Each structure stands twice: as C-alpha cells, then as structure tokens.
C-alpha cells in the first residue's frame, strides 16, 4: 500500500510544476503587454541626479516593434541632438552624426551616463530575455523570480513585484549570478495615455554601487504606431529623427 501511495505521489508532483511555471510565464507576458503595445512610439526624459543635487537631462524619441526591436533618437540637449540608438535582440549600436557610422555598444554601458544602462534604456520585453524560475503570492502583489536565458543579458536575475490588479511592475531588483544587488527600479505614477495604454509614467532607479546617485525616466506621448522593418536597420539610423 505504501509503495502505491509513493508511486501516485511521484506521478502527481511533477505535473504541478509546469502549471506554476506556465502561470508565471503568462503573468510576465501580460506585464510586457501592459507596459507597452507590441508596436509603439513615445518620448522620454531621462534625468541623472548626482549626490550634490546637480541634474543632467536628456530627451529621447523612441520607437519599438515586436519583442526585440527598439530604436531611438536624442531630441535634446543640443550636444546630443541627432544621435540615435538601435537594439536588435542582444546587439546594440549608437550612431553619432560627427562619426558618420554606427558604433557597437554593450548592455552595461550607458549612452547617457547615470544609473540607467543601455539595457534599461533600450528595454526589450522581459519575457524575451528572462524565464520565470519561481512565483510567490503575497497580498496584493505577485513576486516573480526571473532568470536570464543567456549570459549576454545585463542582469542574471530579477525579482519583480507585480501589482495583481493592474498587472504592472511595482519594483524590480536586478541581481548578479551570485545574487548581489546591482540596482532597484521603481515604477510610479500610473497614467492613462489613451488607446488602452495605462502604465507607469515615471520609472526611477538607484544602486548600492553608486551611493547618492539616482536616475529618473519620465514618459510622454506614449501611443501605438505601426512601424516598417526598415526603421530598425543600421542604414536607417541617420534618419531616425524623420519619424517624429
């Protein structure tokens, strides 16, 4: 009889894990879609704040298509105007008009300095880069433990707190493979941008590695837009400003 019970347990237990994993995967994909439609344009102001209170601001126009294509162009300050960025999956480039050709950049570098790196600025769908390792439920929030699919992803692990009602992230902790905290990202000021887009208008980050420094991203004019594949090519980078 004991052997029978053990055999039944072995048959039942493995079936529970795929169901939990599927729930987490579905939740993460819904978070992605609530943060942005599959094809959109928006403006963002990036503000880097130093410990003494000094600020440096940048305005970018951004266009995204699908899960893994995103491009942008600097609108201000004047010293950055015309610079454009492109990300296709794991590959990233920066175009500088005075150089005249795209330059390879990495996810951990930052085209604006500050605490946000290129991976944060050129953010793909989370489900494109991460798998759900574990899901925890706690009151009004779900906690997703995410593991990078490849070694090229900027953060090996993420801990994402998701508002169950809004299905939007509240906070994300970015960690190394050794579980050391690199930075924390906070999602604030839920705003209705129209067209069914209701998402945080403010995203902030700080890091224990950069004491006293903070970076803020403010979103505006967030709307759906169909974009040609041509927009997301190296040859189009000098013309990104024409999309505005």
| pLDDT of 11 over the 50 cut | no
Helix then strand count (H, E) for the chain reads 3, 13
Which one-letter DSSP state was computed for residue 161? E
User: What pTM was computed for the model?
Assistant: 0.87
Domains of the chain: 25-243 (2.50.20.10)
Instruction: Report the pLDDT value the prediction gives residue 12, as an integer from 0 to 100.
Output: 42
**202 to each of 179, 186, 212, 220, how far by Cα in Å?**
26, 8, 19, 10
Say if residues 135 and 24 touch (Cβ distance below 8 Å): yes
Q: What percent of the chain has pLDDT over 70?
A: 91
The string of DSSP codes covering 73-122 is: EEEESTTTTT-EEEEETTEEEEE-TTT-SEEEE-TTS-SS-SS--HHHHT
pLDDT tens-digit map of 173-232: 999 999 999 999 999 999 999 999 999 999 999 999 999 999 999 999 999 999 999 999
pLDDT tens-digit map of 17-39: 343 434 899 999 999 999 999 99
Instruction: Please give the structure tokens belonging to residue 155.
Output: 């953060």
């Amino acid at each position: 009889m004991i052997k029978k019970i053990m055999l039944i347990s072995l048959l039942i237990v493995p079936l529970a894990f795929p169901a939990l994993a599927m729930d987490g995967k579905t939740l993460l994909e819904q978070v992605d879609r609530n943060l942005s439609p599959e094809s959109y344009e928006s403006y963002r102001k990036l503000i880097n704040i130093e410990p003494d209170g000094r600020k440096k601001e940048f305005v970018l126009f951004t266009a995204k298509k699908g899960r893994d294509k995103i491009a942008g162009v600097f609108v201000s300050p004047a010293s950055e105007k015309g610079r454009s960025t492109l990300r296709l999956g794991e590959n990233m480039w920066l175009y500088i008009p005075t150089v005249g050709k795209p330059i390879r950049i990495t996810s951990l570098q930052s085209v604006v300095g500050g605490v946000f790196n290129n991976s944060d600025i050129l953010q793909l769908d989370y489900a494109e880069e991460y798998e759900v390792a574990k899901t925890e439920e706690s009151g009004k929030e779900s906690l997703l433990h995410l593991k990078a699919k490849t070694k090229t992803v900027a953060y090996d692990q993420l801990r994402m707190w998701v508002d169950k009602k809004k299905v939007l992230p509240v906070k994300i902790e970015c960690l190394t493979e050794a579980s050391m905290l690199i930075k924390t990202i906070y999602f604030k000021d839920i705003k209705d941008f129209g067209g069914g887009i209701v998402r945080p208008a403010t995203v902030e980050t700080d890091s224990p590695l950069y004491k006293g420094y903070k970076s803020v991203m403010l979103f505006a004019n967030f709307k759906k837009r169909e974009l040609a594949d041509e927009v997301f090519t190296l040859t189009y980078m000098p013309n990104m400003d024409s999309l505005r």
